[in-house]
Amino acid sequence: MDSSRRRILQLLGISALALTTRPVLNAFAAEQQAAEAEAVIRAGDKALKAKQWAMVIDTRELQSAEDLKPMIEVCHKIHNVPQLQNKRHEIKWIWDVPYHNAFPDKAAQFLAEEVERRPFLVLCNHCENPPCVRACPTKATFKRESDGVVMMDFHRCIGCRFCMAACPFGSRSFNYRDPRPFIAEANLNDEFPTRMKGVVEKCNFCAERLAVGQLPACVEASNGALTFGDLYDPESKVRELIRTHYTIRRKQALGTEPSVYYIV
Amino acid sequence: MNNKALIVTGLVVFLIIVLFPFWYMRGKAAPLPERVLTPKAKAAQVCVRSTDYMRAEHMQLLDLWRDSVVREGKRIYINPEGKEFNMSLSNTCLDCHSNKAEFCDRCHNYASVRPYCWSCHIENPKEKT
C-alpha cells in the first residue's frame, strides 16, 4: 500500500470531514423526530410532594394491641400482604413489638411499667441513609429522589436477600412461598399487585396513595395517633410535633437516620 | 460398510422423526389468533396509542410505564392526542381489555412468549366484581 506522506494527509483530511458531518446529520435527524408528536409522562395533579416523608407515632395514644389492629389490618389488606401462619415465612409491612425489641439500645433493666407493657408500632423507617439500598445489587430497592421514600421495584428483585441482612430493623420480608394462596379471596385488593415467590417486600409509605393525594392508610386509620408530613418543611405537622415533644428513633446510633419518630 | 442396510434404515428413521414437525404440518400454518375486543374496548375505538403502535410496541410502552410509575412516581400518561391515562396495567389496560384470556393469552401463546406480568398483577379485576 502506498503510504506516502501525501496519502496519509489526505486520509486524515477525509476522516476529519467525516467526523464533523456526523453531528450535523444527527441534528437533522433530531429535527425530523421532533416533528412527530411525543407522549408526555408526568405526576398527577393531586400527588402529595415532600423532600423527605416522615412519620411521628404518638405511642401514648396506642396502649394496646387492640389499638394497633386497625392500622395493621388496613395496610395488609390494601397491599395484598399474605397471612402466613408459619413464623419463618411471615410477611410483615407494619406490626408491633415490645419496647425492648423496638429500642434495644434504649432499654434499661427496669422500665416504666406502662412503657414495658405498651406495644410499639414498627414499620420500614424510610431511612435517609438506607443500608438496604446500598446492599441491593440490582437497584430493585432505591431511595426515591423526589420524596425520600425507600421503594421496592419488585420487577427487579432477584431475591438475594442482601437487603434483609442489611436492614437493622427487620423491616423486610421474603416470600419463601407463593403468596397468592395466603391472601383471602375476599380480602384481595384488585387495584394493587400481589408479589411472587422469591421477592422481598416491605412498607412503601403508601406511595400509591401519595400519588393520588391520600395519606398513608395507617395514618388515616390511626385517629390522629400517627402524623405524616415533610421532615424538611419547618411548618409541617411532623416538625411541629418533633419540636414540641421529646421523640426517639429506632437504633439511631447506627446512623441510618430513620424517618419514623416515636413520642414515648 | 458391513451394516449398510441397517445404517441407512436407521438414518431414514432418524430423519423422519427429526423432521416430524415439518412433514406433519406440511403446507399448513397454525391459524392466526383472532383479536377479540370487549364491548368497552370496541366503544373506545382507539387505545392509548394507535392500534398499529400498540400491536408493535405495547411491550416497550408497558416497560416505560412500569419504570416511570415505580421508580419516578409519575403516573399520568398523555398521548400525542392529548388524552390522559393512569399508567396501570391492572386498572387501565384491563379495564377495557378485561378478556385477558382472549385478548392477551391467545396471541402470546401463538407467538410463544410467556410474559410473567400475571404472577403479581391481578389478571381479572373486573371479572370478579
DSSP three-state, residue A78: helix
Is the CA virtual torsion A208, A213, A219, A221 positive or negative? negative
Q: Do A191 and B74 touch (CB under 8 A)?
A: no
Q: Return d(Cα B115, Cα B105) in angstroms, integer.
A: 9
Q: What pLDDT score does A203 carry?
A: 96
- Please report residues of A whose CB lies closer than 8 A to that of B81: 37
In the block, cell 409491612 appears at A93
Domain limits for position A79: 53-263
Q: Is residue A25 part of a domain?
A: no
Q: Whole-angstrom Cα distance, residue A43 to residue B87?
A: 10
- What's the pLDDT score for residue B101? 87
Give a yes or no: residue A30 inside a domain: no
Q: Tell me whether residue A225 is in a domain.
A: yes
CB A161 within 8 A of CB B78: no
pLDDT at res. B128: 47
Beta carbons of A153 and B79 less than 8 Å apart: no
DSSP B20: H
Place of cell 412498607: A203
Q: Is residue A12 part of a domain?
A: no
CB proximity A158 to B under 8 Å: no
Position A58, amino acid: D
DSSP H or E run through A260: strand A260-263
Inside any domain, residue A193: yes
Q: What is the CATH number of the domain that holds A57?
A: 3.30.70.20
Residues B31-80 pLDDT 10s: 888 888 889 888 888 899 999 999 999 999 999 999 999 998 899 999 99
Domain count, chain A: 1
Q: Are the beta carbons of A59 and A262 closer than 8 angstroms?
A: yes
**CA B44, CA B38: separation in Å to the nearest integer?**
10
Assess if residue A174 is contained within a domain.
Answer: yes
Query: B78 CB near a chain A CB, below 8 Å?
Result: yes
For residue A42, tell me if it sits in a domain. Answer: no
Compute the half-sphere exposure of residue A56: CA atoms within 13 Å on the CB side of its CA.
21
Mutate: best of A33, A40, A153, partner B, most B CBs <10 A? A40
**Phi, psi (deg, nearest 5) at residue A56:** -115, 125
Confidence (pLDDT) at A35: 52
Q: Is residue A252 part of a domain?
A: yes
Digitized pLDDT (tens) for each residue of chain A, 264 residues in all: 567 888 899 999 999 988 888 788 887 777 666 555 688 898 888 999 999 999 999 999 999 999 999 999 999 999 999 999 999 999 999 999 999 999 999 988 999 999 999 999 999 999 999 999 999 999 999 999 999 999 999 999 999 999 999 999 999 999 999 999 999 888 888 889 999 999 999 999 999 999 999 999 999 999 999 999 999 999 999 999 999 999 999 999 999 999 999 999
Q: Check if B75 contacts A (Cβ < 8 Å).
A: yes
A107 touches chain B (CB under 8 A): no
CA–CA min distance A88, chain B (Å): 22
